[in-house]
Structure 1
Amino acid sequence: MGEPERNDGLPGMAESYWVATSPETGFPPLDGDGRVDVTVIGGGIAGITTAFLLKRAGLTVALLDADRIVKGATGYTTAKITSLHRLIYRDLIDRDLIDRDLIDRFGSTKARQYADANQAGIEMIASLVREYNIPCSFKRKPAYTYAESEDSRDLVAAEVDAARSLHLPAAFVDDVPLPGRTYGAVILENQAQFHPRNYLLLLAGHLPGEGSYIFEMTRALGIEELDDGVRVRTDRGLLSSDYAVLATHYPIYDRPGSYFARMRASRSYALGIRIDEPFPEGIFINADGPVHSWRSQPAASDSELVIVTGEAHGTGKVTDTRAHYRRLDEYARSVYPERIVDYHWSAQDYITADRVPYIGPLAEGHNRVFVATGFGKWGMAAGTAAGMILADLIRGRASPWAEVFDPARFGEQPEYPGWVQKSLQSVGGTIEVNASWFDREVATIPPREGKVIETDGQKVAVYRDGHATLHTLDPTCMHMACTVAWNNAEKSWDCPCHGSRYDAYGRVIGSPTVKDLAGKEVVRR
């Protein structure tokens, strides 16, 4: 039983450009028990930066990844390194722009911390690229958030005022160097872009040795908090340490039971295209409505790849995900009629209730377990800042930006639903079906496609592989007992509640779940 073939009928290679154009890694799995000063779980930009800075400060670190490093969210990003996050600063400052009963807005002091942290993240990346001579196509670029209508123009003008009040060097410009009609933009100079895997793989190469390690193909299953440290239980052994960092996109350990109610998972889509003209100088995103994001990337033989992204939706809320690629392609064609699609890929991000990441102690009273999550599609500068903040906090040093990102900022924690554990204890087993009805239902499933079908109040997830063999699973997500949905572009089962993802055969490919889907036997009558 192998991985399902990606036969999605879409143009271009079904792969992230960053993954396709960077070397594979081969770090060993954990083999037995061990001890380090800090265990970092998650091999993306937040995890690797945290581990790198801690080791450079003299601590021993073990970095764990359930797969290969930089093949999660960071490997599927657009890789814009910027503090200009669409329209963020006017919202952070103005308490009247959102329901006060839902969240407490931040005001100018904390908004300044947010801006300063992201600017510091940019400069940290630039500094490490220079210091270690990292060949990652790092380049300074102006960032634009542009208006596509007169109404959006007012929003953009307000963002300029808000950003400037926080001492960001923002300006309003009437002319945006993109094809098509625009109505002005906020511009922030001296932002950047890079090849994220080439950058992070070189940083990661400095981790192993002197008591520090990278363990790939090692899934963290849980954390036990002790008076004098933590124990991380994995499928390969136990790691003991003074502290643990959860940089797993969504925390795999949610002991307070709060994160499930404070973040939502979102998928978005990207195309790597070639056009017959030079791409404008800059990185771009529209201000309002469905997201349209643009940047270019130097490619092989002095050519240029243009990356366009958009078509976001809640994870697991859409089954015909191929349609989102097609609509994104139609939009790209409307801007650049002459284009060739070389790559297509999708990414998953978590968005917090107030659009600000959670970086710091997991929760009040959990000061040996730290978290970095909820970057809301802006994880390059903010993920680097997260590494800087966590490295300071773990070393007992104050961080000038920690307050705005504090995960405890919401106060009272929601209760973990009591029915979840009971539901998970009853997964799997058998389901009785009417034979003729079942045959009719599964006859509609083409090869390499899946579907959740229901009879007498019971559900079964069915996947037909390339040999026409049916594989039946319990569609109950092993995180919090929601029902997964089929994703026809990625050939995966996706959870609409918290973003857990499984391959076509039910094996975990994305947290917060750490357990595979249970099998479900179909008994025909």
Structure 2
Amino acid sequence: MNKETNHTHDSLPQYPESYWRDSVELPIFPRLNENKKADAVIVGGGIAGITTAYLLVKEGLSVILLEASTILNGTTGHTTAKITAQHDVIYDELINKVGLENARLYYQANMDAIHFIKQTIQDHSIDCGYSEQDAYLYTNSEEGLTKLKKEAEAYKKLGIQGEEVEKMPLDVPLKGSLVMKNQAKFHPLQYLATLVKYILEHGGSIYEHTTAEDVEKVNVVDKKVTTADQHEIVCSHVVSCSHFPFHDGLGFYFARMYAERSYVLAYKTDNDFPEGMYLSVDTPQRSVRTTPLADGQKLVIIGGGSHKTGQGICTIEYYEALQEFAEKKFGLRNISYRWSAQDLITTDKIPYIGKLSGGSEHIYVATGFRKWGMSQGTLSALLLRDIILKRENQYEKLYSPTRFDLATDGKNLAVQNADVAKHLIAGKLEIVREKAENLAHGQGGVVSVNGKRAGAYRDEEGELYVVDTTCTHMGCEVEWNEGERSWDCPCHGSRFSYTGDVMEGPAKKSLARLQTNTNNIDNVDNEILS
């Protein structure tokens, strides 16, 4: 099933594809085409949304889950699938920023999520390659060693089961390593497919290609969710588990989070590759884990190359850097898959989970998982279930979306929004001379159309797609992402397909299409459609 033909860029697979998506057949769900009523509407078909739906259905609530695309095709379907509380070198930082007790709560919440996943797999006898693993942070630099020693001290203060070790199973140059015990890995889509089945068997409903556009108050109890197709669902509770909340509620989440992309290569191997999960603390970071394949081989999953969405070098170069690392360090050469993911990071690096900002009653949000969605998405569901059912939960205050620390959040907010302003201005002042007619098959980029900036892509058959590059969210100019064949916004992380359709929010409207269906174009400037 993997795609190992038609490679470009030194044997990279021509098109990105996730192993998790390619190795599982998921059910297809209809588009919502009528008005509905339910106890709860959940927006977003990733691990957070599906697990929340599963838990609420188990509590006897009627649930409708809406997905703008197809379920498990976002970050959950493009993860490295580590189930861990070892979220890089986070605990020393948390102790200094939010205090010892809150840092301990952060660890406990993620460990609760790990235990929940393990118990759910046992309860449903899910065959998903679940395996308990040691998780390692490692470094080959003096700066990294200092970080690890501080993190090791934080482990001791928090009672985390882990320690500094001189050696680890993975054979890489090493000055130091820090292990966290009793973590895990699995096949996320095999796991979540079982939860989807449970939801359906117990009265829940799932609709794909259904975009939730807004929510408004009907009465003291009820809310009304309106879709892009103008269908309505009346409900008591609304849960936004999409990346950016589809309903902001004056929380200004687009200004309080930023988007990062990261990259993955996967290699089949017959070699005795070591178990364990690994993450370097040096720059550029590298993540390594394996997953078993049905034929007895292993798939080695190597990730890294993070950068702000729409910013950085040509995205293909991130894949090529991973390729060089895999070959030099492990002798891996035959790439089976490549894919990338987008994650949101909050100003204080702790997710926003709970009641939506702005006093919106019975509207909830889960976002900002900072690349650790397997544990954070699961703990989101556990916390949201308790909030909805009015049960006490010790983690509610820590993850509250309404929290704001002027010293920490205010500084980070200023930095992020200065970066937005810089890219907004730079995009407007850019001088573009490239013409659409010069693009080769399979090539895209920013072009000049009637003296104005536009975006063009010519597919493998020669058909040309031209779009307005002004992001429909707040007017920044999008950039071409060669690795994923998409238009990415450097300001708030919105992404659009080469045809202009929304792939990632916070944008809700597609890019304006300027010209299509022209195979033999001599001068696109004269044929542009307005």
**Counterpart among 186, 202, 213 of residue 178 in structure 2:** 186
Higher mean C-alpha deviation, range 129-138 or range 202-211:
202-211
- Indicate whether 1:450 and 2:444 are aligned: yes
The letter of the residue matching 1:458 is K
Amino acid paired to 2:316: R
In structure 2, the partner of 1:441 is: 435
- Structure 2 CA distance for partners of 1:67 and 1:86, relative to 1, 3 Å: same
Query: Which residues of 2 match residues 374-523 of structure 1 at below 5 A?
Result: 374-410=368-404, 441-454=435-448, 458-520=452-514
Answer yes or no: is 1:270 the counterpart of 2:264.
yes
Match of 2:81 among 79, 82, 85: 79
Does the Cα contact within 8 Å between 1:275 and 1:339 map onto a contact in 2? Answer: no
Q: What is the CA-CA distance between 1:457 and the residue it aligns to?
A: 7.2
What is the RMSD computed on CA atoms of the aligned residues?
2.4
Q: Which of the residues 120, 123, 126 maps onto 1:134?
A: 126
Aligned mate of 1:233, from 226, 238, 245: 226
Partner of 2:57: 55
Cα drift, residue 131 of structure 1 = 0.1
Cα offsets for 1:166-220 (capped at 9, x unmatched): 2211211111222122122111111000000000011011112554211112111
Q: Deviations over 1:212-248 (max 9, x none)?
A: 2111121112222344232111134111111111111
Q: Distance in 2 between matches of 1:245 and 1:200?
A: 18
Residue pair 2:57, 2:202 contacting (<8 A) in 1 also: no
Q: Which residue of 2 aligns with 1:347?
A: 341
Q: Is the 8 A contact 1:269 1:311 kept in 2?
A: yes
Residue 111 of structure 2 is matched in structure 1 by 119
Matching residue of 2:30? 28
Look up the equivalent residue of 2:43 and give its one-letter code.
Answer: I
Q: Distance in 1 between matches of 2:299 and 2:462?
A: 38
Say if 1:494 and 1:502, in contact at 8 Å, map to a contact too.
yes
1:22 is displaced (CA, Å) by 0.5
> How far does residue 281 in structure 1 lie from its aligned partner after superposition?
2.1
1:7 Cα shift? 7.0
- Once structures 1 and 2 are overlaid, which stretch shifts more, 398-407 or 441-450? 441-450
Partner of 1:171, secondary structure, is: strand
Query: Cα distance, 1:455 vs. partner?
Result: 6.6
Q: CA deviation at 1:300?
A: 2.3
Post-superposition Cα deviations, 1:1-55, rounded to whole Å, max 9, x if no partner, equal xxxx997544347310100101132122212100111100001011111111111
The aligned counterpart of 2:239 is 245
Q: After alignment, is 458-467 or 494-503 more displaced?
A: 458-467
Tell whether 2:20 aligns with 1:18: yes
Quote the Cα distance in structure 2 between the aligned partners of 1:336 and 1:487: 28
1:345-385, Cα deviation, whole Å (9 max, x unpaired): 11111111111111111104123211111111011011100
> What code does the residue aligned with 2:113 have?
G
Q: Distance in 1 between matches of 2:486 and 2:501?
A: 9
The alignment partner of 2:290 has SS state of strand
User: Which residue of structure 2 aligns with residue 430 of structure 1?
Assistant: none
**Residues 75-124 of structure 1, C-alpha deviations (whole Å, 9 max, x = no match):** 00000000011100000001xxxxxxxxxx21111111110100000000
Match of 1:65 among 49, 64, 67: 67
Contact 1:6 1:14 in 2 (8 A): no
What amino acid is aligned across from residue 63 of structure 1 in structure 2? L
Shift of 1:61: 0.7
State how far apart, in whole Å, the 2-side matches of 1:295 and 1:307 are: 5
Report the Cα distance in structure 2 between the residues aligned to 1:470 and 1:289, rounded to whole angstroms.
38
Q: Do 2:44 and 2:241's aligned partners in 1 also have CA atoms closer than 8 Å?
A: yes
Residue 14 to residue 300, structure 1, CA distance change in 2 (3 Å): farther
Shift of 1:58: 1.2
Counterpart of 2:280, as a letter, is: N
> What secondary structure sits across from 1:249 in the alignment?
coil
Instruction: Tell me if the contact between 2:43 and 2:66 (Cα under 8 Å) persists in the aligned partners.
Output: yes
1:97 is matched with which residue? none
Code of the aligned partner of 2:249: R
Output one character per residue of 1:412-464: Cα deviation in whole Å (capped at 9) or x when no partner.
Answer: 8999x9xx9xxxxxxxxxxxxxxxx98x6224322222222347873222222
1:324 aligns with 2:326: no
Greater mean deviation of Cα atoms: 399-408 or 227-236: 227-236
CA pair 257-389 structure 1, distance change in 2 beyond 3 A: closer
Structure 1 distance, partners of 2:255, 2:127, is 40
Residue type at the aligned position of 1:294 = V
Report the equivalent of 2:424.
Answer: none
1:281 pairs with 2:275? yes
Cα contact 1:93–1:107 (8 A) shared by 2? yes
**Aligned mates of 1:364, 1:290 — CA distance in 2:** 38
Cα distance, 1:275 vs. partner? 3.9
TM superposition shift of 1:264: 0.9
Q: Which amino acid aligns with 1:504?
A: Y
Structure 2 unaligned blocks of 5 or more: 421-431, 516-523
In structure 2, C-alpha distance between the alignment counterparts of 1:461 and 1:8, rounded to whole Å: 22
The answer to whether the Cα contact below 8 Å between 1:357 and 1:373 also exists between their aligned partners in 2 is yes
How much has 1:488 moved relative to structure 2?
A: 0.9
Moved more, 250-259 or 393-402: 250-259
Listed as ranges, the matches of 1:37-48 within 5 Å are 37-48=39-50
Say which SS state the counterpart of residue 20 (structure 2) adopts: helix
Distance 2:323 2:167 in 1: 25
**Match for 1:360: what amino acid?**
G
Query: TM-score, normalising length from structure 2?
Result: 0.88
Confirm or deny: 8 A CA contact 2:138 2:281 kept in the other structure. yes
Distance 2:6 2:61 in 1: 42
Query: Counterparts of 1:488 and 1:292 in 2: how far apart (Å)?
Result: 22
CA distance in 2, matches of 1:457, 1:159: 54
Q: Which runs of 5+ in 1 are unaligned?
A: 95-104, 421-436
State the partner residue of 1:303: 297
Cα distance in 1 for partners of 2:332, 2:289 equals 17
- The SS at the match of 1:114 is helix
Aligned residue for 2:51, secondary structure, equals helix
Cα 1:199/1:492, change in 2 over 3 Å: same
Whether the aligned pair in 2 keeps the contact of 1:274 and 1:339 (CA below 8 Å) is no
The 2-side partners of 1:279 and 1:164 are apart by 31
Name the amino acid aligned to 2:26.
Answer: E
What CA distance in whole angstroms lies between the structure 2 residues aligned with 1:503 and 1:456?
23
- Distance of 1:449 and 1:225 partners within structure 2: 47
Q: In structure 2, how many angstroms separate the alpha carbons of the residues matched to 1:341 and 1:488?
A: 18
Distance 1:210 1:311, change over 3 A: closer
Contact 1:8 1:489 in 2 (8 A): no
CA distance in 2, matches of 1:411, 1:320: 36
Between the aligned partners of 2:122 and 2:332, the Cα distance in structure 1 is: 37
Q: What SS does the corresponding residue of 1:300 show, helix, strand or coil?
A: coil
Q: Which residue of 1 aligns with 2:198?
A: 206
Specify whether residues 7 and 147 from structure 1 end up closer, same or farther in structure 2 by C-alpha distance, changes over 3 A only. Answer: closer
TM-fit CA distance, 1:255: 2.8
Give the number of aligned pairs: 491
- Distance in 1 of aligned mates of 2:405 and 2:32: 37
Question: How far apart, in 1, do the equivalents of 2:313 and 2:487 lie?
Answer: 10
Per the alignment, in what secondary structure is the counterpart of residue 84 of structure 1?
A: coil
Contact 1:252/1:513, CA 8 A, preserved across alignment: no
Q: Structure 1 CA distance, aligned partners of 2:261 and 2:472? A: 20
